[in-house]
Chain A
């Protein structure tokens, strides 16, 4: 038996199981049948990232609800899978969505390692992956895959916006840079430092405490105090953001050395956990609930009406992922990765609650905002204090 025959045999018997077991067709066809598109929503439902997953799911559901549950002519059939905390669960879940559920498109992903870990799988399946959060530059850089697009940000993009801004402030004592010691932290530090020093800023010192195992930032805070820095730039998210901002305040630095950061530092539920300790923290991000635009106020109102909670950047990114897919599927003649990618590359400017943005390569080119945490009627918000200009993945 030669290889071709063997392959055919496998394909054939595999198809037998697929038809009898799952009711789908084998191979390139759509699982949802004529007129429907099956989307795998890969979001964390367990573990430390699950609050982000919840926001993403809400953004996705809200768009579908507002738009009759269809992308173009296609009925949308959403299958949710749990990304968990990392590739061990996330890659397996993606495989389930692609091979078992036979989804046409994968949307979501919080953890960059999951996105990077399924590049080959996506390429081989020739399906579209629309990343709605994960920020590693490599996901959409250097043409790793024609099928992977992103509606969120890159870690360096957000950090560069802040670096360029802080270089314009009068900080002669320099800026202290702190981020957790992992890939995203390093990208943020590199992006910030490059933009900041290119524009004439001075770095007073840098710390990268261990990621995920640091409960106490006092050693770092002591070093910031001793460095003589006039401001701190930080990149933290989730529980680390809460701990860092609170301790920054408890150890008395908040009054002496103003705290700046990438927007995840004070985004969403993290901000309410930080409480008053977060007031006056300044961050850069491509969204805030406080953006003054009609698109945003309509969105915020609808979101709060549906979920009794304020939206977050994670919800907007996934909301936009649905909007982008809708645009693409209006023109696409098939549901494979090539057809949808072709449509995506032809898209013009997209309207969104975050403001207008477009694809720069396969990642957004978008406006960045300077946000300052303020207490409004007893609740904390990221007030928009300035625009920092438009940034893409590479420029």
Chain B
């Protein structure tokens, strides 16, 4: 952080076009390569890897939306999976009972996530710190119980199963490669929208709240309204991610919005480095790979691996993957 803070002004003040231009070129090349890799993945990867990548994308969007709360606004939520689950149940229910097109289901999931976040968020954002953590846990657990008990709609503990394959314009996306591109597209839209929020003046105000809430209040910012708005936007992102999850998984169970999911996504954000959206994506990838890819083959020792990853990350990478990469704070500094 310090190193970056001293380096950045030097680059700016030098005003020399060359280093800055070269850096931009490097960034553009990196970005294009990354996008090409992401888009090209199903052409080279086998169906299982493609499906795992699809899950990573859904989980990454959830982590990105949580990062808006944790890293940007400074509100660590343990109950964020609740809105993820709300989105997943909404999209799943609409696909089963009405048979609507995939993108419409995603839109509905986004709206559902936002609405439930609005309905519950006003309670949560009044507190902060550990108490916010516990209040979101309580809200999440209550919604988890609703998913368990409201059997006529959610299917209870057996889950909402038999969700049909996603269709876009009447064409179904049963092939893992097509589904991956669909989810990638939706992920891209969600990611860019949240990035826009973070980089706007509204995002700057959220960071102000993160750094010094009393000061922001003294400056006349409606802090409560800002926090609630951030909570609702994060809920919308989680809802969209839930819609993507059900498109891939085709079953929703109460576990998808339980404490474990909430804790895992918080872990993903921390692994990535709270405050950097792309870091959250890497964190999500690590968590999903450990749990879904390596976990099942470890003779039941998946949780042990997860615990070790947890401890190592907290010690070795104080600012997450983004901190190690040394370019953390791009979003913050911008």
Task: Give A contacts to B, CB under 8 Å.
Answer: 6-7, 9-10, 13-14, 16-18, 21-22, 44-47, 50, 53, 80-82, 84-89, 91-93, 95-96, 99-100, 112-113, 116-117, 119-120, 124, 136, 138, 144, 181-184, 186, 210-211
Does any Cβ of A come within 8 Å of B323's Cβ?
Answer: no
Residues of B within 8 A of A136 (CB): 158
Contact with A14, one of B47, B298, B301, B302 (Cβ below 8 angstroms): B47
Residues of B within 8 A of A117 (CB): 159, 161, 249-251, 253
Docked pose: A181 CA to B292 CA in angstroms: 29
Does any Cβ of A come within 8 Å of B255's Cβ?
Answer: yes
Residues of B within 8 A of A84 (CB): 295-296, 302
Residues of A within 8 A of B9 (CB): none
Does any Cβ of A come within 8 Å of B156's Cβ?
Answer: yes
Query: How many whole Å from B146's CB to the nearest CB in chain A?
Result: 12
| Known contacts A7-B175, A10-B43, A117-B161; A95/B298 CB under 8 A | no
Does any Cβ of A come within 8 Å of B334's Cβ?
Answer: no
Closest residue to B141 on the A side, CB-wise?
A: A213
Does any Cβ of A come within 8 Å of B39's Cβ?
Answer: no
Closest residue to B292 on the A side, CB-wise?
A: A92
Number of residue pairs across A and B with beta carbons under 8 Å?
Answer: 129
Docked pose: A375 CA to B116 CA in angstroms: 54
In chain B, positions 124-169 with a C-beta closer than 8 Å to chain A are 145, 148-149, 151, 155-159, 161-162, 165
Docked pose: A137 CA to B106 CA in angstroms: 31
In chain B, positions 212-258 with a C-beta closer than 8 Å to chain A are 249-251, 253, 255-256
Main SS class of interface, B: helix
Does A17 lie within 8 Å of B46, measured CB to CB? yes
Residues of A within 8 A of B177 (CB): 6-7, 10
Does A18 lie within 8 Å of B174, measured CB to CB? no
What are 11 A-B residue pairs whose CB atoms fall within 8 Å in the complex? A6-B177, A7-B175, A13-B44, A46-B302, A46-B303, A89-B291, A89-B295, A95-B51, A96-B292, A100-B46, A210-B145
Does any Cβ of A come within 8 Å of B297's Cβ?
Answer: yes
Residues of B within 8 A of A116 (CB): 158-159, 161-162, 251
Query: How many whole Å from B64's CB to the nearest CB in chain A?
Result: 20
Docked pose: A130 CA to B155 CA in angstroms: 23
Does A82 lie within 8 Å of B302, measured CB to CB? yes
Residues of A within 8 A of B149 (CB): 181
Does any Cβ of A come within 8 Å of B300's Cβ?
Answer: yes
Docked pose: A14 CA to B161 CA in angstroms: 28
Question: What 7 pairs across the A-B complex have the smallest Cβ distances?
Answer: A45-B300, A93-B296, A99-B48, A46-B300, A117-B251, A182-B157, A92-B292
Contact with A87, one of B148, B255, B293, B302 (Cβ below 8 angstroms): B255
Residues of B within 8 A of A16 (CB): 44
Query: How many whole Å from B29's CB to the nearest CB in chain A?
Result: 25
| Known contacts A46-B301, A46-B302, A99-B48; A86/B253 CB under 8 A | yes
Residues of A within 8 A of B276 (CB): none
Does B291 lie within 8 Å of A113, measured CB to CB? no
Does any Cβ of A come within 8 Å of B79's Cβ?
Answer: no
Docked pose: A14 CA to B260 CA in angstroms: 33
Contact with A95, one of B42, B48, B158 (Cβ below 8 angstroms): B48
Closest residue to A138 on the B side, CB-wise?
A: B158
Query: How many whole Å from A101's CB to the nearest CB in chain B?
Result: 9
Does B157 lie within 8 Å of A183, measured CB to CB? yes
Does A99 lie within 8 Å of B255, measured CB to CB? no
Does B161 lie within 8 Å of A99, measured CB to CB? no
Docked pose: A370 CA to B295 CA in angstroms: 40
Query: How many whole Å from B55's CB to the nearest CB in chain A?
Result: 8
Contact with B299, one of A80, A85, A86, A89 (Cβ below 8 angstroms): A80
Does any Cβ of A come within 8 Å of B45's Cβ?
Answer: yes
Does B46 lie within 8 Å of A21, measured CB to CB? yes
Closest residue to B164 on the A side, CB-wise?
A: A120
| Known contacts A10-B175, A186-B151, A186-B156; A17/B45 CB under 8 A | yes
Does B296 lie within 8 Å of A183, measured CB to CB? no
| Known contacts A82-B295, A82-B300; A17/B159 CB under 8 A | no
Residues of B within 8 A of A13 (CB): 43-44
- Contacts A82-B296, A113-B159 aside, 14 further interface pairs with beta carbons under 8 A come to A17-B44, A44-B300, A84-B295, A84-B296, A92-B292, A93-B296, A95-B51, A96-B296, A99-B51, A117-B249, A124-B174, A182-B148, A184-B157, A210-B145
